């Protein structure tokens, strides 16, 4: 069995260990030499070039992704040539365009913030007036980790973006916290859901994840049902991450979707019987899914962001590993620079306070 992954980042890298365990051959089309997933890179090239992607896809059983940026015309060429692509082009289109996503989610009846497609300052002004004078605007494409997102109080603040096309305007949601629900779905329909988790963002970037989300008993089933309905409604195969707001009124609203393993699921490598990376491989190969149950009462994942410029996480292992012998350390093989995600750490155990403290202390060694 051979899985081809387009993109050589850390998500592709973290698919390699479960592929080795299961005896699945993983091939990666990396953007450049020396990327995070270099150990599995069998080709280097531009994922926007159909000929490059087709040549890469020729010898694999299924193509999947490290990111959602492969253009629709390239995906169409793969389909024309009989290549199995999971998730498929139709589902990926929803993840690629935030306006399209809001349209499809609204059509499915999923709870979302109030939103509008705004094509000009007048339209944005109307939306501002209707939603309290401060709203979020998002570029439909290309945003991630806080990029392409802006809070505006006057329409003119989005003039630069409006010059490039319509934007998604959304109400500023009064939320208690952010949550994420991950599910996996295989083509034959089987789904599996991890527990609902709490995510903490800093500067628009995921900083910390607690699994399960504390005090979330009453939210677990609704979140799972919502994510499954989206996976089924959009025909997603592989892992689907549904980023959620828990509003101050206690409701769940869908913030964003990702159709691939997601930062909010990294805890599952060490904390669940079946990690999101193993599950993604099983799902895209249409193999039976694994048990997503947590292995411990609590798992906490903390991202390693930045750190001393030009260093790597292993440079700090002598102190970090000595101080936290029970924490699992994950380095993405990248040199640190300000704000860059270079790895993560995960702690697990029966007491949340202890688990949080250990994970934060371990991550702290790399960010000094």
Residues that bind its own copies (CB under 8 A): 1, 13-14, 16-18, 20-24, 39-40, 269, 273-274, 282, 287-291, 293, 295-296, 312-314, 317-318, 321-322, 325-326, 328-333, 343
Q: Shortest approach of its own copies to residue 247 CB, angstroms?
A: 35
Q: Shortest approach of its own copies to residue 53 CB, angstroms?
A: 23
Residue-wise over 142-153: b if at least 16 C-beta within 10 A, else e?
Answer: ebeeeebbbebe
Phi, psi of 361 (to 5 degrees): -65, -40
Nearer to its own copies, 11 or 254 (CB): 11
Pairing state between β 135-138 and 149-152? antiparallel
Q: Shortest approach of its own copies to residue 273 CB, angstroms?
A: 5
Nearer to its own copies, 24 or 118 (CB): 24
Q: Shortest approach of its own copies to residue 220 CB, angstroms?
A: 19
Nearer to its own copies, 22 or 173 (CB): 22
Q: Shortest approach of its own copies to residue 319 CB, angstroms?
A: 9
Distance CA 322, CA 169 (A): 48
Question: 3-state DSSP call for residue 60?
Answer: coil
Q: Shortest approach of its own copies to residue 113 CB, angstroms?
A: 36
Q: Shortest approach of its own copies to residue 196 CB, angstroms?
A: 20
DSSP alpha helices (H): ranges in the chain?
10-22, 50-57, 72-80, 89-96, 98-108, 121-130, 159-162, 217-234, 268-271, 276-284, 317-323, 352-364
Nearer to its own copies, 30 or 219 (CB): 30
Distance CA 207, CA 178 (A): 12
Cβ-contact 327, 346 below 8 angstroms: yes
Nearer to its own copies, 40 or 63 (CB): 40
Nearer to its own copies, 91 or 359 (CB): 359
Nearer to its own copies, 149 or 321 (CB): 321
Distance CA 318, CA 42 (A): 33
Q: Shortest approach of its own copies to residue 266 CB, angstroms?
A: 11
DSSP character at residue 13: H
Distance CA 167, CA 148 (A): 10
Nearer to its own copies, 104 or 282 (CB): 282
Closest CA to 295 of 195, 219, 199, 223: 195
């Amino acid at each position: 069995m051979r899985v081809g992954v387009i993109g050589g980042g850390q998500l592709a890298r973290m698919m390699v260990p479960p592929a080795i365990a299961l005896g699945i051959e993983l091939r990666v089309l990396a953007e450049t030499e020396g990327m995070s997933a270099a150990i599995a890179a069998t080709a280097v090239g531009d994922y926007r070039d159909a000929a490059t992607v087709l040549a890469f896809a020729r010898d694999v059983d299924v193509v999947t992704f490290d990111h959602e940026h492969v253009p629709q015309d390239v995906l169409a060429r793969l389909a024309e040539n009989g290549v199995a692509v999971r998730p498929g082009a139709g589902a990926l289109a929803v993840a690629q365009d935030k306006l399209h996503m809001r349209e499809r989610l609204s059509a499915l009846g999923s709870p979302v913030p109030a939103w509008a497609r705004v094509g000009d300052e007048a339209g944005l002004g109307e939306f501002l007036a209707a939603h309290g004078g401060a709203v979020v605007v998002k570029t439909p494409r290309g945003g991630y980790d806080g990029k392409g997102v802006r809070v505006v109080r006057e329409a003119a603040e989005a003039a630069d973006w409006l010059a490039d096309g319509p934007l998604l305007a959304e109400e500023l949601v009064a939320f208690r916290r952010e949550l994420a629900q991950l599910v996996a779905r295989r083509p034959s329909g089987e789904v599996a859901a991890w527990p609902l988790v709490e995510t903490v963002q800093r500067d628009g970037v995921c900083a910390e994840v607690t699994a399960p989300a504390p005090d979330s008993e009453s939210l677990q089933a609704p979140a799972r049902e919502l994510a499954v309905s989206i996976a089924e409604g959009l025909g997603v195969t592989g892992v689907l991450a549904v980023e959620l707001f828990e509003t101050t009124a206690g409701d769940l609203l869908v913030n964003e979707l990702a159709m691939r393993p997601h930062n909010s699921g990294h805890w599952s490598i060490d904390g669940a019987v079946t990690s999101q990376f193993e599950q993604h491989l099983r799902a895209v190969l249409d193999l039976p899914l694994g048990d997503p149950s947590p292995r411990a009462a609590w798992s906490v994942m903390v991202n390693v962001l930045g750190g001393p410029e030009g260093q790597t996480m292993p440079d700090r292992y002598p102190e970090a590993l000595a101080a936290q012998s029970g924490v699992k350390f994950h380095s993405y093989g990248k040199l640190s620079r300000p704000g860059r995600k270079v790895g993560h750490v995960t702690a697990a155990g029966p007491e949340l306070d202890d688990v949080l403290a250990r994970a934060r202390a371990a991550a702290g060694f790399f960010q000094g």
